[in-house]
Amino acid sequence: MTTSSFRPLYARSDSDVRAENAQETAIRETQPEVHATGAGRLGWRWFLASAIAACVAVVAHAYFLGWTTPFGLFGNGIDTIVYRHGAYVVQHGEPLYEFALFDIGLPFTYPPFAALAFAPLALLSVTSAVTVVQAINLLLIYVAVVASWRALGYRSATMYLVSVGLAVALTWLEPVRMTIWLGQINVLLLVLVLLDLTRGEGSRLRGVGVGIAAGLKLTPAFFVLHLLAQRQWRAAVTAIAAFTVTVLAGLIVIPADSWRFWTSTMIDSERIGALASPANQSIHGALARLWPGNTPPFAVWLVLAIVVAALALWVAARAQAAGKTLLALTICGMATPMVSPFAWGHHWVWCIPLTVLALDYANRHRTWWSWLAPIAVTTPMIAWYFTDYRGIKAIGIFMFEGSPAFEFAVQFTYPAVFLTTLVVVLVGSRIRPTAGRDDARQ
């Protein structure tokens, strides 16, 4: 009998240690990349604060405009009606991209797959369809808040309660309020991407959510570039494959409409809205407002969009290298409306995780000045109830009326928020590439 036969059970050889380390590494690679927080939990003070914020938002909604008045939170649903009608015309064999609803002529501007996905809405009455979509949006806002906290490493029970109050309070932000008011799908796209890309890198499903979101609306395809920049090849291929399936579904079911969309409708930004309108909160809109005659050459916008996209991907890569997955995704999410040909204010719903990031910063630092972060993030995006822009109430600051100089300045609000975020990340935070995600600290 050799000496090694008497080795205690708890003694481990070098090969045992290497095997355990390899197993731990494999486990970590299947888990979401979480950002370590100083506190890692939200106490009852947070619950109380979120409840107060929610009450303030509810009172503001009810007092200033009411709930179901034309400009009340639940008083419109016009985009849901367009979705429903798009599904209806497809089911009845009518051209998808030729109809225009209401006096202002709202067309269907989404990929063909979206009309197929909206099919259940055609089975409901207009009122029921609007109510269902608005209810789903409220739930999705909560899901987005919870997913953001979880991506930052929060797991306490109070986090789920705090998220209820925060989700309600966030309905006071213009992108979120307008998404509910119009019955839009922006938060759905956010949740599809957020849940998809905060899952473990080892998941075979990673990328599916991005592909489906891009099939519903093209802008989430930007996240494929992020995956490629991160060399997450399998997730990128999966996203492209999922998107391709949505394109093929449209070509098979409605081939004529699909051909029209992919060859002409897709590139017609004027079909969405006036390019130089202050409502266009993209870099294209900003450029149009600055350009003589409001018609910048396509090549100029394209070059500028590529530069902005590259900058966003670079900053996101630095954040990702430091283990800050949510920050990286939020930067990319904000970049999607920034580089789009046309971006309404309600396209900027990545203000939801941006707000959570700012609150996390305040929670970890716990100084009076750290609360400037959430204040700075939310103030430019509040829906100002006392405003009235050409009969439209509760608008964002970018639609404010005043002196010519003031109006000109505020028209660049959301692009300014995006660029400021990039500057803060690069200059104000201590982002450093780390050897491993478990060492990530901010």
The answer to whether the CB of 213 falls within 8 A of the CB of 182 is: no
Is pLDDT above 70 for 437? no
What is the pTM (predicted TM-score) of this model? Answer: 0.86
pLDDT in tens, 288-312: 999 998 889 999 999 999 999 999 9
Integer angstrom CA distances of residue 312 from 93, 154, 338, 349: 42, 26, 10, 17
Q: Three-state DSSP class for 377?
A: helix
3-class SS shares of the chain: helix, strand, coil, % to 5: 65, 5, 30
pLDDT for 227 equals 97
What number is the average pLDDT over the span 184-203? Answer: 95
Angle at 71 between CA 279 and CA 185, to 5 degrees: 60
Q: In the chain, where are the structural domains located?
A: 38-266+273-439
- pLDDT at residue 131 in the model: 97
Kindly state the DSSP code that residue 311 receives in the 8-state scheme: H
371 CB burial (10 A radius; 0-12, 13-18, 19+): middle
pLDDT higher than threshold 70 for residue 396: yes
H or E, element range at 183: none
Q: Which helix (H) or strand (E) holds 352?
A: helix 351-365
How far is it, in rounded angstroms, from Cα 351 to Cα 325? 16
Q: Can you read off the two tokens belonging to residue 264?
A: 């002409």
pLDDT greater than 50 at residue 165: yes
For the cut 80, the answer to whether the pLDDT of residue 389 exceeds it is no
204, 326, 332, 436 from 35: Cα distances, Å:
22, 8, 17, 12
Residue 35 has pLDDT above 60, yes or no: no
Q: Is the pLDDT of residue 330 over 80?
A: yes
State pLDDT tens for residues 63-119: 988 898 888 999 999 999 999 999 999 999 999 998 777 666 788 999 999 999 999
Chain centre distance of CA 429: 22
Q: What angle, 0 to 180 degrees and rounded to 10, lies between the N-to-C axes of helices 222-229 and 233-253?
A: 160
pLDDT score at 6: 34
Look at residue 166 and tell me whether its pLDDT is greater than 90: yes
Residue among 392, 366, 432, 381 at smallest CA distance from 37: 366
* Whether pLDDT at 19 is above 80: no
Instruction: Specify the length of the chain in residues.
Output: 442
Question: Where is average pLDDT lowest: 67-76, 102-111, 197-206, 264-273?
Answer: 264-273
Q: Hey, which residues does 388 pair with through a beta bridge?
A: 393
Between helix 126-151 and helix 174-182 the angle, nearest 10°, is 150
288: how many CB neighbours lie within 10 A of its CB?
21
Of the candidates 222, 239, 430, 196, the one whose C-alpha atom is nearest the C-alpha of residue 324 is 430
Cα–Cα dist 382/389, whole Å = 15
Question: What is the SS3 assignment for 110?
Answer: coil
Spatial CB neighbours of 387, under 8 Å, sequence gap ≥ 6: 393, 394, 395, 399, 400, 401
Cα maximum dimension of the chain:
95
**Helix extents (H) in 1-156:** 14-29, 44-60, 78-91, 112-117, 126-151
The residue among 93, 138, 150, 84 whose CA lies nearest residue 115 is 84
**In 152-282, which residue ranges form alpha helices assigned H by DSSP?**
157-170, 174-182, 186-197, 208-216, 222-229, 233-253, 255-263
Mean pLDDT of all residues in 189-214: 95
Mean pLDDT, the chain, rounded, equals 86
- What three-state secondary structure class fits 171? coil
Residue 268: φ, ψ to 5°:
-95, 85
Residues in Cβ contact with 415 at an 8 Å cutoff, skipping those fewer than 6 apart: 281, 282, 283, 286, 338
pLDDT at 138: 98
